[in-house]
């Protein structure tokens, strides 16, 4: 009977150890799944953050490009106004030159007649 009790005790101990091992294995698997999930989340966050940075950079570049285009448009408008003013001054200058020639012609005619 002692050997039966001893065999039974060993069986109980072995059963207990297998149960503990099974529990530890299940916990290890749970930890592995959690680690995989954390890695996946980290990868997702890196991708999302990278995309957000790219989007922010693109938005900043677009804003800068828009500002430059507005400056170019303003400069083109000023240049057009300057061209209009220059044409106006040229026309006035030509009119003044023509007036001066007319007065000179009148003066020459007056000198010739006298």
pLDDT at 2: 64
pLDDT in tens, 11-59: 788 888 889 899 999 999 999 999 999 999 999 999 999 999 999 999 9
Confidence (pLDDT) at 1: 57
The more confidently predicted of residues 6 and 105 is: 105
% of the chain at pLDDT higher than 90: 75
Q: Give the number of other CB atoms < 10 A from CB of residue 38.
A: 10
């Amino acid at each position: 009977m002692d050997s039966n009790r001893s065999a039974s005790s060993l069986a109980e101990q072995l059963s207990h150890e297998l149960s503990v091992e099974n529990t530890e294995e299940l916990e290890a698997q749970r930890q592995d799944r959690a680690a995989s999930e954390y890695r996946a989340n980290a990868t997702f966050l890196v991708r999302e953050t990278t995309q957000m940075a790219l989007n922010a950079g693109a938005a900043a570049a677009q804003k800068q490009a828009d500002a430059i285009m507005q400056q170019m448009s303003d400069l083109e408008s000023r240049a057009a106004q300057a061209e209009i003013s220059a044409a106006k001054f040229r026309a006035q200058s030509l009119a003044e030159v023509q007036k001066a020639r007319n007065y000179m012609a009148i003066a020459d005619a007056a000198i010739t007649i006298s």
